[in-house]
Amino acid sequence: MVSLLLAVMALVLGPMPSSAAEPDPGWWTPTARPTPDAQIDVTGEPFKGTDAQGRVRGFVDAHDHIMANEGFGGRLICGKPFSEQGVADALKDCPEHYPDGSLAIFDFVTKGGDGKHDPTGWPTFKDWPAHDSLTHQQNYYAGIERAWRGGQRVLVNDLVTNGVICSVYFFKDRSCDEMTAIRLEAKKSYDMQAFIDKMYGGPGKGWFRIVTDSAQAREVIEQGKLAVVLGVETSEPFGCKQILDIAQCSKEDIDRGLDELHELGVSSMFLCHKFDNALCGVRFDSGALGTAINVGQFLSTGTFWKTETCPGPQHDNPIGNAVAAEAEKQLPKGVTVPSYASGAQCNTRGLTSLGEYAVRGLMKRHMMLEVDHMSVKAAGQAFDLLESESYPGVISSHSWMDLGWTERLYKLGGFAAQYMNGSAAFSAEAGRTDALREKYQVGYGYGTDMNGVGGWPGPRGGDTPNPVKYPFRSTDGGSVIDKQITGERTWDINTDGAAHYGMVPDWIEDIRIVGGQKVVDDLFTGAESYLRTWGNAEKYKSGVNLASGAAASASTSEWWNPFVSFAPDKAVDGDKGTRWASEWEDDQWLQIDLGSAKPVKRVTLDWEAAYAKSYRIELSQDGKNWQTAWSTTAGDGGLDTAWFARTVARYVRIHGLERGTKWGYSLQEVGVYSD
């Protein structure tokens, strides 16, 4: 009877399932992956949305090079970040590295030893990727996916190349033109987005989203996906190299180049990198690498780095006098790398007039300026310019800016990230600027610089007393992260270090263990701070100069001849080719009548060579009763910006108290602003 009943029910209801239905794999799981492929080894839904205050959550990598394999002539970085044929095709060693790495020239130049290694990739990956191998692809897409699943929400993909390294490297399969490489890397970045979209069902459906404005980035993060920002880091952008100190580009080249980058979707860029160029001087590299780069500088520009004693506490990296024998063989006969005095650690080259034009061009296009790699002199001048315009779009993405500039950066509204150091060193360095982050209420970031030939955190060892224990929870608590597996290789941060991009979540867990939760919490607010800087740059509007064309008077004016005027009105005529100059005495002033009482908050002073060492900004309603709004005894010329509490005034007076030179005071332009 029971069997009959079951038979009837089967006929009526249809076949009964032999097991429970498969669980929904979730929106974050692709319908198919290329074969073979690396594993992700993260379970749990990626978090979406914002916190209770409407702020996005998540980590930001402010400096990475996904497509570096396409730069430097195409054979410096071996392997690709993605392939339709899967990881076995993507992560192939360079042809010249077979059979044992004997011709891995850049590998032994950067790593030491003989460069020999097992070139086999899939499935063993015996010798690479590795934390100390600078020539093998570290940005395979599945590793980036793992970092996203572990809580990263912003990734800055810096399109990168170097024409000189390309030209002197033995192996290449394409042109060394830098802008050609940048265009290709931008295209490949969009190709990678399409590749990932395809795995999720079509355009716009993947987790890897290239964004071109901060609002778009916020929308992507609201969906729980990764916002990818395009940047540029190259040594001679727009052809702006200099040969024997003569610029090889023009303002028209800069405008044309910036317009093209903006059209490609680039939102941030460096103006100089490794070599002095027509835009700015660089912050030196140290040791043998520094000597090798200095050789490259000579081969590119015809000049070696030149140093001087630093005028303030900030300094460039010391060059030293280390030998780089292989690089020095490239020099013409009779040419040698100069010796450098240990006390002279600053590059003589700062921001050029073309460099200033490029900075203003970035501001005009609401793009962000990367100040890392700029010499101390160039960075200081860039900050002067940014402060004079109250422009917030400034980034230090990977520890190549003197820390002495950090408060200036935060005060403007900029964002700082630290190079991906070992967990102990990273945590200690974060502690040095912790008070400033508290003061300015900003988060923190990291710059992995993977594929950037810099080296990454090594293992702390399997016997360390406080290892990362697998599996562990992501910072948001919603995902479980286990050891990452690629073919026959299982990766462990304790014994492998940060060997590839997929180890970013493991490295963050290592920071939590070694440096404490506070460091990780600061990093987890990094995406919001980065987007705030970007958004404020997008909203930037140049202030109205209340002093432009205003009536001006002065205590004295210098007189040379009847054909040249140094009258007071020359400081407010909008022409940097003219200037007011006083007589050669200390107590002198320039007074500007705004025409009526107006709120005043900021005064900019563009000094000619004759500047004030000690001076003050004075304000008045009636031209008789004055109050000091701002003062300094450490003026150094150049472009100064005085900030003070907004005050209603009709008259503004720049009162010189002590000259910085034997001449008088000389101002090319004075700006007065209410914002």
Note the pLDDT tens digit of each residue in 156-214. Answer: 999 999 998 888 888 999 999 999 999 999 999 999 999 999 999 999 999 999 999 99
How much is the pLDDT for 5?
A: 35
Which amino acid is it at 605?
A: L
How far is it, in rounded angstroms, from Cα 405 to Cα 241?
Answer: 26
Which amino acid does the sequence have at 544?
Answer: V
**pLDDT classification of 457: cutoffs 50, 70, 90:** very high
- Indicate if the alpha-carbon torsion angle 306, 308, 313, 317 is positive or negative: positive
Instruction: Report, as an integer, the average pLDDT of 318-338.
Output: 89
Asked if omega into 95 is within 30° of 0 (cis), the reply is no
> pLDDT class for 6, splitting at 50, 70, 90?
very low
Give pLDDT, residue 454: 86
Residues of the chain above pLDDT 90, percent: 86
Tell me the average pLDDT across 60-84.
97
CATH fourth-level superfamily of 551-673: Galactose-binding domain-like (2.60.120.260)
Residue 483 CA: distances (Å) to CA of 123, 458, 495, 561: 16, 17, 12, 79
Q: What is the pLDDT of residue 675?
A: 87
Confidence band, pLDDT 50/70/90 cuts, at residue 112: low
**Cα separation, 664 vs 222, whole angstroms:** 58
**Is the pLDDT at 19 greater than 80, yes or no?**
no
* Per-residue confidence (pLDDT) for residue 18, from 0 to 100: 38
- State the virtual CA torsion across 375, 379, 385, 387 in degrees, nearest 10: -170
Closest by CA to 337, choosing from 288, 370, 386, 380, is 288
Which H/E stretch holds residue 183?
Answer: helix 178-199
Tens of pLDDT, residues 523-582: 999 999 999 999 999 999 999 999 999 999 999 999 877 788 999 999 999 999 999 999
- The pLDDT of residue 603 is 97
**pLDDT of the residue at 652:** 98
Whole-angstrom Cα distance, residue 498 to residue 493? 6
**If you average pLDDT over every residue of the chain, what do you get?**
93
Residues 499-511: what's their mean pLDDT?
98
Q: How many CA atoms, within 13 angstroms, populate the side-chain half-sphere of residue 173?
A: 10
User: Tell me, what's the pLDDT at 4?
Assistant: 36
What is the structure's pLDDT at 16? 37
Residue 507 CB neighbours (<10 A): 24
Mean pLDDT confidence for 21-38 = 86
Domain extents for the chain? 59-282+349-460+467-539, 284-348, 551-673
Phi first, then psi: give them for residue 151, nearest 5 degrees.
120, 0
pLDDT of residue 20: 46
What pLDDT does residue 23 have? 63
Q: How far apart are the first and last CA of the chain?
A: 90
Task: For residues 92-112, give the mean pLDDT.
Answer: 84
pLDDT class for 114, splitting at 50, 70, 90? Answer: confident
The model's pLDDT over 232-281, given as tens digits with 9 standing for 90+, comes to 999 999 999 999 999 999 999 999 999 999 999 999 999 999 999 999 99
Contacts of residue 520, defined as CB under 8 A and 6 or more positions apart, other chains included, come to: 475, 508, 511, 512
Residue 8 has a pLDDT of 32
> What is the model's pLDDT at position 393?
98
Q: How far apart are CA 639 and CA 670, in angstroms?
A: 10
pTM: 0.92
Question: Inter-axis angle of helices 178-199 and 141-149, to 10 degrees?
Answer: 60
If we measure between CA atoms, which residue out of 609, 596, 599, 607 comes closest to residue 629? 599
Report whether the peptide linkage leading into residue 311 is cis, meaning its omega lies within 30 degrees of zero. no
* Maximum Cα–Cα distance across the chain: 125
Q: Tokens in use for 231?
A: 């940047």
For 625-673, write each residue's pLDDT tens digit.
Answer: 999 999 999 999 999 999 999 999 999 999 999 999 999 999 999 999 9
Q: What are 328-332's contacts with CB under 8 Å, separation 24+?
A: 328/291, 328/295, 330/168, 330/295, 330/299, 331/295, 331/298, 331/299
One CATH from 3.40.920.10, 1.10.3720.10, 3.20.20.140, 1.20.120.400 for 59-282+349-460+467-539: 3.20.20.140
Look at 161-165, 408-412, 496-500, 587-591 and tell me which has the smallest mean pLDDT. Answer: 161-165
CA distances from 403 to 1, 188, 381, 428, 441 (A): 86, 35, 16, 14, 18
Query: In angstroms, how far is CA 320 from the centroid of its own chain?
Result: 26
Nearest Cα residue to 141 out of 204, 201, 83: 83
Task: Give the ranges where 525-660 is alpha helix by DSSP (H).
Answer: 526-538
Task: Supply the pLDDT for residue 626.
Answer: 97
Which residues face 640 on adjacent strands?
A: 605
Q: How confident is the model at residue 308 (pLDDT cuts 50, 70, 90)?
A: very high
- Is residue 387 scored above 80 in pLDDT? yes
Predicted pLDDT of residue 183: 97
Lowest model confidence (mean pLDDT) among 322-326, 418-422, 517-521: 322-326
The confidence band for 289, taking pLDDT boundaries of 50, 70 and 90, is: confident
